[in-house]
Structure 1
Amino acid sequence: MNHNTASKSSDNLQSMLKESVDRFLCEYQKGVTDFSNFTMIFSRLLQNLPDPSLEYVWFYSALTFYTSKFTAMPSSKHVLATKDLFQLLVSCSSSCNVVKRVAILGPVIYELFYLVTDKKISKRDVESLLEGIVSYISICCGAEPEKDDGMECLNLNSCFLDLVHVWVVDRVGENCEFGDLKVFLPIVGDEVRDGVGVGCRVGYLAGIVMCEAFLLRLCLKFAVANSRDELEKDLRNCALNIITGFRSFYFFDILLRVLMEPVLPVTSLLVSEDEAFLHHVMYDVVVTAEYSFVTSQRGIQLPCNSLKILAMRWLFVVNNALQSVRENGDQAKVISYINAFSESWLLAQLIKWVTNQIGIGEKTSRPKFSTPLDLIKWLLVVEEQGVRVFDFDITKIYAKAIICKSRVEYDLSVINPNDKSLFKSLFLNSDCERRWQHKDDTDLEMIDLVDTEFSTTDGIRKRKEGRNIEAEIPVKLVKYNFQDNSLSERFSPLGNEKWVE
């Protein structure tokens, strides 16, 4: 079959799928419960396709799942129906590559989430099924290396969002305040969810599926009445086992994106105290885990730019984790995190990439950094010199927000201790950190945003209440001459941190 014939055949299949989805939704809304005609057609289609698309598998499995759902089964049977769905998706995707096999499990994780939130359903049964799904994903990831060569990680096609609507049609009414994707992918934040859609890589969706399964698995641990110490140990062991079991770049990338958010997207599953506890444990795991697996698996080398982007997100998360333990006064954890940061393989890879771009060779000693904040400042200086360090403007704004926050907190250190906690609380609990992500992509808007929240009066940062503004928060960075390999330059006064010589 030549290229033109194959393309025409693919277009015909897409057209047939689109028409079938539209007809299904129309008949479903009329109360039709018999979809055997659709089921037979797509069953034969899947048998004849050596590598069926995710959308075909989702439509066929949805038809089968809805048929069993219309038998008016009691709540106790819903877990069994979801288990059957899992087995069906595994069977239909057996000829697919590992990334697609994982992404295809999206409907199962979606159904499991709503089983967890159903008080009539046994959490033990759900946990048992979820444990089996996590094991299956680990086996898939261990049996075949991930590839990101454009052939195995194809883009989602034009019917993807229609198929999402097929799965959520029961839970999305005409006047629902949430969109289809928010209902279908409830355990990731808006920033991650915004990346899903037509043209999205299947690998990105696979990472979301793995991350949601990971978070669900950890949240179910809270249903067991253990002491906090026992729960922390259980959560930590479970998280480490899943991370090392998945050994997936896509999963780790989505997990870091989730941890860059101020709050974990599990508030519908956990109370705020438990969410904060889980956040603490996840920080601990991500900071101290070993990640050399993300670059080379059985000869498959991760592209340098992908690794750099991953390392950058990891850097931000480590900074957030370090800030969190400092605020809690846990000095032992502060030291532990700094040591883990300094010895991390990802840190070495990031510095290696940047120094190669600016012409510092292997024989020249590379700069060392005692904290993530030191490195973030240096990266901003490198960016100012014309090296494209931050691939996305939003990432650069995030880095500047960290610098702004560190400057504000440094200024807070000079005020009366009795007032310090008040002003610090005002800053940390404001919308400042959350709102920066939704600003336009310009360098100075984050600075303006922070200045809107605070003004300077007699050296003390106060919330603006009609007072005059004395000065902006300075974030000027000193230009660095990259031809000088002595690395003796220092940053302008953004704080007390210095390079480690």
Structure 2
Amino acid sequence: MALIEPQTSIKPHNLKFFTGDEYELAINQSIQSLLDSLQNPNPDLSGFTSKFLELMQVKPNPHPETIWILSSLTFLINSSRKDDVLDQVLAVKDLFQSITTCSASSSPSVCIALIAPVIYKLYSVVIDLKRKEVDLKLGKKARREIRSFVDVILGYFNVCCEGSNNDEEAGLIRPLNDLISIWVHSEGFENGSKQFFPLLSDEIVHWVTEESGDNLGLLAGAVIVEAFLLKLCLKFNDGSSKQELQNELRTWAVCSITGFHNFYVFDMLIKLLLEPNLPVMSLLSSEDESFLRKVLYDVVILPDFSFLCLDKVGHIPNSHIKNNVVARLMVTHEAIELLRKNKDYTKAISYTNAFLGSHLPTLITKLVASELGTNGNATQPKGSSPMAFIKWMLDLEDQGLNLTDGFFSKHRARLVHYRSSLDLDPQSSKLNAAGKTDDDLGFFIDNKGNDEDEKIDDSVNDVFVAAARSMQSGTNESGKKRKETHVGKKKGGVKFQRYNLVDHSGSKSGKKTGLLEKGDSRSESEVEDPDSDDNLE
């Protein structure tokens, strides 16, 4: 594959040894000069390659902007006349190879974030292949090449995530939108950031472009999510039955999220599920989009991923954790209500009890405790369903408690609608014909509500079956600890342990306590994803 090579040899003595401030100033000036040049009708980009090559070679650990721009310039110059779909795929592969080579000494988050242009161009090839009339044999070969390439990219992300230590990353010198404009300018897109991230919602695109300058881990999460969704979409129409496809997608998705052990990946998937439609409508029919949504509900609600526990998210800003708590409550409630309307009470019960057995109730109580401080007293939620917690939090907000930084307020009307619906339909918390409420029901996910080894019509994979069995072996809502089960040894597994609500005491200082306090780590039982490595394609 073609790597980025200098057009002329640059001798070591010609390289300027910058101080930190001089280096950033030189990058800033060069980027601005490039952006100004792009305003011309037919900009000449070839003159900038040597400049950014020199900037990249000055430091042993190149700044992300220099790699991003140099790879962009090289790709745009070399691939401008390639019309054949296989040549386009090859050009994107060359881009991926160039970026990974140049960023080899960078941190894991930087390595992943820099792949954003690769996903953008690969998505463009997929859309072109879908819209254009392509020879049947050529189209089949191209789709096979693309699927294989996406697997390579996701494998690279897995390797990067294994090496991630959650250290804070250096930010960008320039706004992300400036870097994006280098890619989308020549194609005449006005809303560049949304065009550049076609598989993210407007809300997430805004979040990423606003905050990733100081948090490249956020941009890395967005890139993983897009590759993740692209992989799932490419699995449709491959000849599998719906049941086979459902099981395959669900198993692969759980294994992948477990391997990434990335808070932002999970958080973005949750927030995408709050949208009226997943941002995949350009790739899937409305029927397939609905099918994928149901798969993702299972993936984000039924497992309890260990990397989301409090002691694993200390590097995440508290505001992001708070927003994620509210979003997860909303998604779980909406999924349960959808199942109720479709009269799928068995799975609705499994979702409710997956919520009960997760660490999420603990996160919610710590969230409220951190806002109340030492002098505040709060009533307990009347029930333990997601809706009971939402109603409780709304009532506390009505009393003047500020629970989140913007997200709760932004979706307040939607949350109030939930509460109104509950008031109109008091039976909504009773998901079982026998009249048991969510507090009385055991966790089960098969259609008969037991743990026998029978064929599950509305099945989930072995990960969820193991979860159901381990949780059923415990006790009810009395507060006793459930029986613990261990399967597998892989770090960052999926946890299905019941968490007791804890008694939070305030600090003596009288100040509000944070969500994360030292010594908050717990020794917790884990049910790992069985044979997870074998399930990754």
TM-score bracket relative to the smaller structure? 0.7 to 0.9
Map 1:107-118 → 2, pairs under 5 A: 107-118=117-128
Counterpart selection for 1:370 from 368, 378, 384: 384
Is the contact made by 2:109 and 2:164 (CA closer than 8 Å) also made in structure 1?
Answer: no
The reply to whether residue 387 of structure 1 matches residue 401 of structure 2 is yes
Is the contact made by 2:82 and 2:88 (CA closer than 8 Å) also made in structure 1?
Answer: no
Is the contact made by 1:103 and 1:205 (CA closer than 8 Å) also made in structure 2?
Answer: yes
Structure 1 residue 390: Cα displacement: 2.1
Structure 1 residue 331: Cα displacement: 0.7
Q: TM-score, normalised by structure 2?
A: 0.68
Counterpart selection for 1:52 from 57, 62, 65: 62
Is the contact made by 1:326 and 1:334 (CA closer than 8 Å) also made in structure 2?
Answer: yes
Structure 1 residue 199: Cα displacement: 5.3
The reply to whether residue 10 of structure 1 matches residue 10 of structure 2 is no
Counterpart selection for 1:123 from 128, 140, 143: 143
Mark the CA change 1:276 to 1:53 in structure 2 (over 3 Å): closer, same or farther: same
Is the contact made by 2:199 and 2:226 (CA closer than 8 Å) also made in structure 1?
Answer: yes
What secondary structure is seen at the aligned counterpart in 2 of 1:256?
A: helix
Partner of 1:165: 181
Is the contact made by 2:38 and 2:185 (CA closer than 8 Å) also made in structure 1?
Answer: no
Mark the CA change 1:225 to 1:410 in structure 2 (over 3 Å): closer, same or farther: farther
Is the contact made by 1:309 and 1:391 (CA closer than 8 Å) also made in structure 2?
Answer: yes
Is the contact made by 1:284 and 1:321 (CA closer than 8 Å) also made in structure 2?
Answer: no
Partner of 1:429: none
**How far, CA to CA, are the matches of 2:23 and 2:177 in structure 1?**
22
Mark the CA change 1:41 to 1:359 in structure 2 (over 3 Å): closer, same or farther: closer
**How far, CA to CA, are the matches of 1:404 and 1:224 in structure 2?**
40
Partner of 1:315: 329
Higher RCO (CA-CA < 8 Å; seq separation 6+):
2
The reply to whether residue 194 of structure 1 matches residue 206 of structure 2 is yes
Map 1:33-44 → 2, pairs under 5 A: 35-44=45-54
Aligned amino acid, residue 120 of structure 2 = Y
Structure 1 residue 76: Cα displacement: 1.5
The reply to whether residue 30 of structure 1 matches residue 42 of structure 2 is yes
**How far, CA to CA, are the matches of 2:296 and 2:281 in structure 1?**
15
**How far, CA to CA, are the matches of 1:24 and 1:31 in structure 2?**
6
Structure 2 unaligned blocks of 5 or more: 1-17, 428-503, 506-537
Structure 1 residue 196: Cα displacement: 3.7
Is the contact made by 1:358 and 1:387 (CA closer than 8 Å) also made in structure 2?
Answer: yes
Map 1:15-414 → 2, pairs under 5 A: 15-24=29-38, 26=40, 29-30=41-42, 32=44, 35-72=45-82, 74-119=84-129, 120=134, 121=139, 122-147=142-167, 149=168, 152-154=169-171, 156-158=172-174, 160-172=176-188, 178-197=190-209, 200=212, 201-295=215-309, 302=316, 304-355=318-369, 357-358=371-372, 369-392=383-406, 394-408=407-421, 411=424
Aligned amino acid, residue 411 of structure 2 = Y
**How far, CA to CA, are the matches of 2:404 and 2:181 in structure 1?**
35
- Residue-by-residue CA offset, 1:307-336 (whole Å, 9 max, x unaligned): 333222211111121122112111111110
Structure 1 residue 299: Cα displacement: 9.8
Structure 1 residue 259: Cα displacement: 1.4
**How far, CA to CA, are the matches of 1:153 and 1:233 in structure 2?**
40
Structure 1 residue 56: Cα displacement: 1.9
**How far, CA to CA, are the matches of 1:140 and 1:368 in structure 2?**
44
**How far, CA to CA, are the matches of 1:375 and 1:194 in structure 2?**
28
Is the contact made by 1:39 and 1:60 (CA closer than 8 Å) also made in structure 2?
Answer: yes
**How far, CA to CA, are the matches of 2:401 and 2:422 in structure 1?**
29
Structure 1 residue 253: Cα displacement: 1.9
Structure 1 residue 228: Cα displacement: 0.9
**How far, CA to CA, are the matches of 2:176 and 2:379 in structure 1?**
50
Partner of 1:421: none
Structure 1 unaligned blocks of 5 or more: 415-481, 484-501
Mark the CA change 1:292 to 1:388 in structure 2 (over 3 Å): closer, same or farther: farther
Is the contact made by 2:53 and 2:66 (CA closer than 8 Å) also made in structure 1?
Answer: no
- Residue-by-residue CA offset, 1:2-58 (whole Å, 9 max, x unaligned): xx95324412320122103332553xx3275xx443222222221222333332222
Is the contact made by 1:153 and 1:203 (CA closer than 8 Å) also made in structure 2?
Answer: no
Structure 1 residue 365: Cα displacement: 11
Mark the CA change 1:67 to 1:397 in structure 2 (over 3 Å): closer, same or farther: closer
Mark the CA change 1:326 to 1:62 in structure 2 (over 3 Å): closer, same or farther: same
**How far, CA to CA, are the matches of 1:145 and 1:366 in structure 2?**
37
Mark the CA change 1:292 to 1:169 in structure 2 (over 3 Å): closer, same or farther: same
Structure 1 residue 240: Cα displacement: 0.9
Structure 1 residue 411: Cα displacement: 3.8
Aligned amino acid, residue 259 of structure 1 = L
- Residue-by-residue CA offset, 1:221-240 (whole Å, 9 max, x unaligned): 10312111111111101211
Mark the CA change 1:199 to 1:346 in structure 2 (over 3 Å): closer, same or farther: closer
Partner of 1:476: none
- Residue-by-residue CA offset, 1:450-497 (whole Å, 9 max, x unaligned): xxxxxxxxxxxxxxxxxxxxxxxxxxxxxxxx99xxxxxxxxxxxxxx
Mark the CA change 1:273 to 1:299 in structure 2 (over 3 Å): closer, same or farther: closer
**How far, CA to CA, are the matches of 1:73 and 1:404 in structure 2?**
51
**How far, CA to CA, are the matches of 1:360 and 1:339 in structure 2?**
31
**How far, CA to CA, are the matches of 2:22 and 2:127 in structure 1?**
44
Structure 1 residue 288: Cα displacement: 0.8
**How far, CA to CA, are the matches of 2:82 and 2:272 in structure 1?**
37
**How far, CA to CA, are the matches of 2:255 and 2:85 in structure 1?**
31
Mark the CA change 1:153 to 1:277 in structure 2 (over 3 Å): closer, same or farther: farther
**How far, CA to CA, are the matches of 2:122 and 2:297 in structure 1?**
25
Aligned amino acid, residue 150 of structure 2 = L
Mark the CA change 1:300 to 1:193 in structure 2 (over 3 Å): closer, same or farther: closer
